[in-house]
């Protein structure tokens, strides 16, 4: 089945009891038992909920995994994943990451004795160096946040497995409409479903999808033990978002290309980071690994914070806000906003400069977004 069809049908068909084409939102914290310890598959809402079950089945299907698990946020999913790794475990993480992911890994390093190394994993040589000492967990985003760097997922999965480690990929930016890490050999996919999967900026949620059954069972146990689970209503919203994921990702990609082209040819812009541009250093890898380039991009304005602030005041269709992946366009300033939790020296070392802006291109008409950016740049 092709992705577009799969997203519409994922999770199973109409409700068996009623024929409802959408899953009922089961607002019940507990479930009647037939006899002590005999039940219909549901006992208590933290452990399992029928609305959540439909979403979790859908998550597994769309990411080509064995087990799908829904969480109350992306970081709730990451917290639960990290529970699997005892003190002394070695984690190698990409050095360009969502700020909250960096903060949580750093917290585990300080507080719980996790050994965490942040490394640039964009080249085979860098991967070889970082994994010379085997890691229990390799954790990456691709494309990364906010610099849109790519990681060769197939090569990295092989390298992680040589050292008997797991590869986990945060697939939030690409979504399964454009990239399927488990098909590339990864063991775990993580999502902030807050972003493209729900797609309308109206829910906070997370997900893990596991390739192997045993790890899936372990994570399901941890999901219940930790308890960072989503509400049934939020599960319904994420599921509704998934239905249109393929259409939306296509529109996001068209919008981002139009915006990237304006930025790439403008004299007030020093650099544009978008994997869909032939000038992106990993454009060929993007073509091989992804079926589209997505709606996210970043650009460095000449003139640092003052220029960025002027641009942000003038832009009209892009709302100044954190987050991404909704139907409406957003823009943010990583150094002052999402990556502010990184020490300044770290930010600078990783290319998150004071003139950098990150764009989440929505599904508006690409020509309107391009006009908006052009007009705002004229006033910088
Ligand atoms: C937003 C985001 C997260 C964190 O997810 P929450 O739902 O906000 O907890 C993790 N990774 C990426 C790439 C994100 O964009």
261 has pLDDT over 90: yes
- Catalytic residue selected from 52, 149, 180, 195: 195
CATH number for position 277:
3.90.1150.10
E-only strand ranges, the chain: 67-71, 90-94, 115-119, 137-141, 166-170, 188-192, 206-210, 269-273, 296-301, 319-320, 330-332, 356-360
Express as a percent the part of the chain with pLDDT over 70.
100
Phi, psi of 289 (to 5 degrees): -95, -20
Q: What is the pLDDT of residue 287?
A: 98
Residues 281 and 167 grouped into a single domain: no
328: its two tokens: 């409406």
The count of domains in the chain is: 2
pLDDT band for position 342 (cuts 50, 70, 90): confident
Q: What is the pLDDT of residue 161?
A: 98
Residues 52 and 176 grouped into a single domain: yes
345 has pLDDT over 90: no
Domain-ending residue, one of 228, 243, 258: 243
Phi, psi of 191 (to 5 degrees): -135, 145
Of 172, 189, 228, 334, the residue with max ligand 1 atoms within 8 A of its CB, to mutate for a pocket test, comes to: 172
For residues 338 and 374, the answer to whether their CB atoms sit within 8 Å is: no
Q: What is the pLDDT of residue 263?
A: 98
Residues 237 and 251 grouped into a single domain: no
Cα 74 to middle of ligand 1, angstroms: 5
Cα 100 to middle of ligand 1, angstroms: 7
- Catalytic residue selected from 95, 136, 152, 170: 170
Domain-ending residue, one of 243, 258, 292: 243
CA 373, 318, 101, 152 dihedral sign is: negative
- Atom of ligand 1 at shortest distance to CA of 194? 7
Residues 224 and 168 grouped into a single domain: yes
According to DSSP, residue 220 is labeled H
Residues 117 and 167 grouped into a single domain: yes
Measured CA to CA, the distance from residue 370 to residue 10 in angstroms comes to 34
Of 71, 73, 75, the residue with max ligand 1 atoms within 8 A of its CB, to mutate for a pocket test, comes to: 75
Residues 123 and 67 grouped into a single domain: yes
Q: What is the pLDDT of residue 64?
A: 98
pLDDT band for position 341 (cuts 50, 70, 90): confident
Q: What is the pLDDT of residue 347?
A: 84
Q: Collapsing DSSP states into helix, strand and coil, what is residue 243?
A: helix
Per-chain mean pLDDT for the chain: 96
Domain-ending residue, one of 200, 228, 243: 243
98 catalytic per annotation = yes
Measured CA to CA, the distance from residue 34 to residue 200 in angstroms comes to 40
Is there an atom of ligand 1 within 6 Å of 194 CB? yes
Residues 258 and 321 grouped into a single domain: yes
* pLDDT tens for each residue of 35-86: 999 999 999 999 999 999 999 999 999 999 999 999 999 999 999 999 999 9
Mean pLDDT of 355-376: 98
Mean pLDDT of 327-350: 88
Residues 136 and 281 grouped into a single domain: no
Is there an atom of ligand 1 within 6 Å of 145 CB? yes
Is there an atom of ligand 1 within 6 Å of 172 CB? yes
Cα 340 to middle of ligand 1, angstroms: 15
Please enumerate, as own/partner, the contacts of 7-16 that have beta carbons within 8 Å and a separation of 24 or more.
Answer: 7/62, 7/177, 7/242, 7/243, 7/244, 7/245, 7/246, 8/243, 10/57, 10/58, 10/61, 10/62, 10/242, 11/54, 11/55, 11/57, 11/58, 11/61, 11/239, 12/54, 12/57
Residues 84 and 221 grouped into a single domain: yes
187 has pLDDT over 80: yes
Range of 350's domain?
246-378
174: its two tokens: 């690409």
344 catalytic per annotation = no
- Atom of ligand 1 at shortest distance to CA of 100? 4
According to DSSP, residue 195 is labeled T
Express as a percent the part of the chain with pLDDT over 90.
93
Residues 258 and 219 grouped into a single domain: no
The residue whose CA has the least distance to atom 5 of ligand 1 is 74
Residues 53 and 180 grouped into a single domain: yes
Residues 140 and 19 grouped into a single domain: yes
Q: What is the pLDDT of residue 316?
A: 98
Q: What is the pLDDT of residue 283?
A: 98
Cα 322 to middle of ligand 1, angstroms: 11
The candidate with the shortest Cα–Cα distance to 150, out of 294, 303, 333, is 294
Residues 6+ apart with CB under 8 A from 95: 118, 119, 120, 121, 350
Cα 130 to middle of ligand 1, angstroms: 24
CATH number for position 209:
3.40.640.10
Measured CA to CA, the distance from residue 145 to residue 358 in angstroms comes to 9
The candidate with the shortest Cα–Cα distance to 242, out of 60, 77, 66, is 60
Measured CA to CA, the distance from residue 191 to residue 71 in angstroms comes to 9
pTM: 0.97
Q: What is the pLDDT of residue 157?
A: 98
Of 71, 72, 74, the residue with max ligand 1 atoms within 8 A of its CB, to mutate for a pocket test, comes to: 74
């Amino acid at each position: 089945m092709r992705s577009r069809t799969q997203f519409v049908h994922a999770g199973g068909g109409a409700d068996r009891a009623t024929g409802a084409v959408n899953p009922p939102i089961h607002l019940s914290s507990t479930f009647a038992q037939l006899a002590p310890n005999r039940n219909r598959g549901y006992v208590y809402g933290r452990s399992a909920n029928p609305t959540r079950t439909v979403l979790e089945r859908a998550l597994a299907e769309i990411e080509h995994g064995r087990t799908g698990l829904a969480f109350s946020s992306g970081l709730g999913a990451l917290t639960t994943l990290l529970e699997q790794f005892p003190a002394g475990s070695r984690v190698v993480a990409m050095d360009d990451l969502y700020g909250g992911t960096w903060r949580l890994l750093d917290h585990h390093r300080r507080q719980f004795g996790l050994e965490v190394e942040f490394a640039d994993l964009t080249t085979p040589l860098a991967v070889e160096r970082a994994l010379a000492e085997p890691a229990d967990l390799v954790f990456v985003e691709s494309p990364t946040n906010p610099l849109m760097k790519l990681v060769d997922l197939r090569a990295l999965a092989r390298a992680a497995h040589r050292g008997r480690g797991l590869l986990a990929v945060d697939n939030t930016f690409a979504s399964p409409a454009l990239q399927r890490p488990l098909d590339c050999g990864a063991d775990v996919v993580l999502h902030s479903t807050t972003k493209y999967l729900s797609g309308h900026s109206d829910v906070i949620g997370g997900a893990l999808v596991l390739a192997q059954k045993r790890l899936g069972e372990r994570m399901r146990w941890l999901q219940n033990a930790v308890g960072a689970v989503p509400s049934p209503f939020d599960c319904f919203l994420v599921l509704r978002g998934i239905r249109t994921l393929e259409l939306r990702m296509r529109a996001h990609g068209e919008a981002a290309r139009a915006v990237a082209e304006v930025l790439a040819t403008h004299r007030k812009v020093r650099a544009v980071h978008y994997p869909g541009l032939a000038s992106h250093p990993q454009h060929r890898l993007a073509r091989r690994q992804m079926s589209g380039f997505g709606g996210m991009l970043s650009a460095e304005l000449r003139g640092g914070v003052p220029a960025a602030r002027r641009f942000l005041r003038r832009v009209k269709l892009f709302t100044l806000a954190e987050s991404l992946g909704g139907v409406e366009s957003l823009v943010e300033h990583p150094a002052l906003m999402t990556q502010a939790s990184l020490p300044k020296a770290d930010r600078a070392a990783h290319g998150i400069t004071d003139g950098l802006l990150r764009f989440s291109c929505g599904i508006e008409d690409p020509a309107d977004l391009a006009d908006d950016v052009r007009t705002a740049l004229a006033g910088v």
